[in-house]
């Protein structure tokens, strides 16, 4: 199944729920996203350098939610996999997915910024 880096329909789905305020809700969700992910990613990089897999597992668990809630499907799926592999102590496999996550993180972040700008302009 082809997953999207950022599925705009997920956030735009709020239009069905609250046609008047949906852009404000989306703005709030994206704000929360940006407030948390940079620091979490930084901690994950440090944990990887130190071989601290319990921290990696915990961070993958919390970051997975942050990405999932804005429709970042690929990042969500990767973090879910990293969490499972870290818990199973399959570190070499987890490293493969973490390398992919490095790329996806950057791309997701850039797309989320674009979406945030477009949302603010349309509001």
Partner 1 sequence: MSAKPKNAFRVLIVDDQSSDIMNPYLLTSQLGFETTLAFDGEQALTESARTPFDLIILDWNMPRVPGWAFLRRLEMRPVPAGRKEIKNQNIVLYSGDDLSDLIFDDLLNLRVLDVWQKPLEPSDMLKRIKRIKAFVGG
What residue ranges bind partner 1 (CB under 8 A)? 10, 13-14, 16-18, 25, 28-29, 32-33, 36, 58, 61-62, 64-66, 68-69, 71, 76, 80
How many Å apart are CA 55 and CA 31, to the nearest integer?
Answer: 24
How many Å apart are CA 104 and CA 73, to the nearest integer?
Answer: 10
How many Å apart are CA 65 and CA 25, to the nearest integer?
Answer: 17
Q: Toward partner 1, which CB reaches closer, 64 or 109?
A: 64
Q: Toward partner 1, which CB reaches closer, 49 or 75?
A: 75
DSSP letters, 10-30, are HHHTHHHH-TTTHHHHHHHHH
Minimal distance, residue 40 CB to partner 1, in Å: 11
Q: Toward partner 1, which CB reaches closer, 24 or 110?
A: 24
Minimal distance, residue 121 CB to partner 1, in Å: 22
């Amino acid at each position: 199944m082809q997953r999207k880096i950022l599925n705009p329909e997920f956030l735009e789905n709020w239009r069905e729920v609250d046609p008047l305020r949906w852009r404000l809700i989306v703005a709030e969700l994206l704000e929360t996203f940006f407030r948390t992910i940079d620091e979490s990613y930084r901690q994950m990089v440090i944990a990887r350098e130190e071989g601290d897999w319990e921290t990696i597992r915990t961070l993958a668990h919390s970051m997975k939610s942050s990405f999932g809630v804005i429709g970042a499907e690929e990042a969500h799926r990767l973090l879910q996999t990293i969490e499972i592999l870290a818990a199973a102590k399959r570190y070499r496999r987890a490293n493969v997915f973490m390398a992919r996550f490095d790329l996806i993180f950057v791309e997701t972040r850039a797309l989320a910024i674009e979406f945030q700008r477009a949302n603010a302009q349309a509001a």
